[in-house]
Amino acid sequence: MQDLVTLGQRIRHFRTAAGLTLDEAGARVGAAPSHLSLIENGRREPRLSLLTELAHAFGVPVQQLLDDQPPSERAALEIELGQIQRGALYASLGLPTIRAKSLSDDTLRAILGLYRELERRAKQAIATPEEARRGNTELRRRMRERNNYLPEIEDVAEQLLADAGHVSGALTHRTVSIMAERLGFELVHVNDLPHSARSVTDLENGRIYLPPASIPGGHGLRSMALQAMAHRVLGHEVPATYADFLQQRLEINYFAAAVLMPRKQSVEFLQKAKAERNIAVEDFRDAFGVTHEAAALRLTNLLTSHLDLELHFLRVGGDGAVQKAYENDGLRLPVDVTGSTEGQYVCRNWAARTAFGRMNRTTEFYQYTDTPEGTFFESAQTGTTTSEDFSITVGVPFAHSKWFRGRDTANRRGSTCPDEACCKRPPQDLQERWRGKAWSSARLHAQILSPLPSGTFPGVDDRELYEFLETHAARATD
Ligand SMILES: [Zn+2]
């Protein structure tokens, strides 16, 4: 069945073609002209008996009225304009509603053409998760070529640390504040940051707004402050593409890590641990006062470039899906057809997953994993966020295991993934028993990259951001 607007258009078209006014047509079929008018405007649905009488009065078969095509190009344009103005995209623009009747054909065509292009672009923006996955995969490939090491950012970090008078030991909040001051910024902790922003920088008044200093897990604050400064230090412009956005995010994370775990001290620490055959992520973490994940990631920057050790890093959720991954040691990461690894499940026999099964989760878990690509030594630590479990794994090829704590572990597992028979396929008897007798609904993966709402800064709500800046700038001058 056609929509009422098209039906009304066709009735009006055939009425005027028959040379009848509303009054005349109404008289012929015994209906009020006002009722016919409502039908022609698509606001009332005519009964079939009335339709039959109208068709008879116009001298056309009733099927002509019921056709789902607009009666003319002009009518099609008017219908489309009506549909557009009732839609959410048009409503979001805050523009007045216009009546098609008052417009020339060309004006209508121009408005509709512009609107179709607007709609096409909006749909393109919705396709961003795909773009994000491709961008992420490409970035990982480029970083693998560089052994995840960016000396130019290391140099900048070292210089800034030296200028701030930092010599050794874990970096304090105080030193981070001094670094900010030297860059012309004051660190201000506030309770009302925009929900979509991790930090906000007021360039005009030289302030970096951060969450309250007292929040649990506040050790992340130094990192957040450093990331905010990094945009300035590294000369970032507002990212034009998703790839730019990912590159900048990688660089600010890298900069924060290079300040919190300075290259010189970190390499010295790791070389000493290697000489003692006692490299452990947990020690490196504790020496620099950072999270286990930050320490493990920092090893991917430094172990290959300075200690000639290839390695892999994994952050895996309690469901077994990859949240972050890096390798330059030949470990075969699970990937989809596009080469993307985020959201793919790692083998049940890797330390990243066997570590979840342990009773004592306070210390690192060690395991040798035999794969078709060789044997790897892995060290995994599990953790919990407010919503889920995760594990952080650092692994190296067997030949390098002699430098690591935990190398004497008796834990050993075999893995032939991606061969389905390894751990993916359910046992034959269970399959037969349950086939057709159960149903399940999937949970969407929260870690899969979501599209960025458009705004001046990708992902940050413009209105919230500018209102926030306005409020705080006013308070600052009081
Ligand atoms: Zn497996």
Ligand 1 center to residue 335 CA distance, Å?
14
Of the pLDDT bands very low, low, confident and very high (cuts 50, 70, 90), residue 209 is very high
Assigned token pair, 66: 């019921």
Ligand 1 center to residue 320 CA distance, Å?
11
- Residue 216 scores a pLDDT above 60: no
Ligand 1 center to residue 447 CA distance, Å?
22
Assigned token pair, 443: 């949970």
Assigned token pair, 419: 């061969």
Beta strands in 71-168 (DSSP E): none
- pLDDT at position 85 is 87
Ligand 1 center to residue 167 CA distance, Å?
46
Assigned token pair, 252: 């600010």
- What residues flank ion ligand 1 with Cβ within 5 A? 347, 415, 417, 422-423
How large is the average pLDDT for residues 449-456? 50
- Residue 36 scores a pLDDT above 90: yes
How large is the average pLDDT for residues 166-170? 80
Bond prior to 418 in cis (omega within 30° of 0): yes
Ligand 1 center to residue 415 CA distance, Å?
5
How large is the average pLDDT for residues 121-143? 79
- pLDDT at position 25 is 93
Query: How would DSSP label each residue in 17-83?
Result: HTT--HHHHHHHHT--HHHHHHHHTTSSPPPHHHHHHHHHHHTS-HHHHH-SS-SSHHHHHHHHHHH
Ligand 1 center to residue 416 CA distance, Å?
6
Ligand 1 center to residue 423 CA distance, Å?
4
Phi, psi (degrees; rounded to nearest 5) at 374: 125, 180
- pLDDT at position 203 is 87
Per DSSP, helices labelled H in 194-315 are: 220-233, 242-260, 263-275, 281-288, 292-307
**Which conformational region is residue 169 in: left (phi greater than 0), alpha (psi within -120 to 50 degrees), or beta?**
left
Ligand 1 center to residue 352 CA distance, Å?
12
* pTM for the structure as a whole: 0.70
Of the pLDDT bands very low, low, confident and very high (cuts 50, 70, 90), residue 279 is very high
- pLDDT at position 456 is 60
Of the pLDDT bands very low, low, confident and very high (cuts 50, 70, 90), residue 124 is low
Ligand 1 center to residue 424 CA distance, Å?
6
99 or 297, higher pLDDT:
297
Ligand 1 center to residue 329 CA distance, Å?
19
Upper half-sphere CA count for residue 372 (Cβ side, 13 Å): 8
How large is the average pLDDT for residues 34-52? 90
- pLDDT at position 442 is 61
